[in-house]
Amino acid sequence: MSQPPPIDVNEAIRAWDKEKAFFIQTLDLRLEHVERGKARMRMPFRAEITNGMGAVHGGAIVSLCDTCFYIALASIYGREQETTTASISCSFLRPALPPSDLIAEATVLKAGRRIVYGEVHVFSDDKLAAHATVNFLNTTP
């Protein structure tokens, strides 16, 4: 079986910037790198995404994890693959405080025909702020 061609990172980033949904634009999620089964995204720190304590809201962090993992999945199956989040569990390990952007690194650990399993590490100021485990369901064979 031949290896798939390498991913053109610049083209993937251009496509992402062109096609991202309104909610993703609202969070200002930025794709920085993608390779087969892996993705890295940035969510710039902004007051609009903080909670009452001034840290990044947990819901924004989970959205970052979910989106970053989707990009890692799409690097294997293609963007045409219909998929949905089946489950996501996120542990918040430290507050994500200003002025640091959040960096998410997603890895597909098991790429099955229907179930795709992996994890996302989220860093703030180079420290691990959150860890998520994710299951996606490929909805069409």
- The β-bridge relationship of strands 83-92 and 127-138 is antiparallel
Cα 50 to Cα 23, 30, 36, distances in angstroms: 16, 18, 32
Task: State residue 4's pLDDT score.
Answer: 65
CB 72 within 8 A of CB 5: no
Task: State residue 136's pLDDT score.
Answer: 98
Task: State residue 38's pLDDT score.
Answer: 97
Domain boundaries defined on the chain: 9-138
Q: State the 10-residue block means of pLDDT for the chain, 141 residues long.
A: 70 76 88 96 96 96 97 93 96 97 98 96 97 95 61
| Token pair of 106 as six digits | 């997603």
Q: Position 85: which residue type?
A: T
pTM > 0.85: yes
| CATH number of the 9-138 domain | 3.10.129.10
By CB atoms closer than 10 A (0-12, 13-18, 19+), residue 136 is buried
- Distance CA(93)–CA(106), nearest Å, equals 17
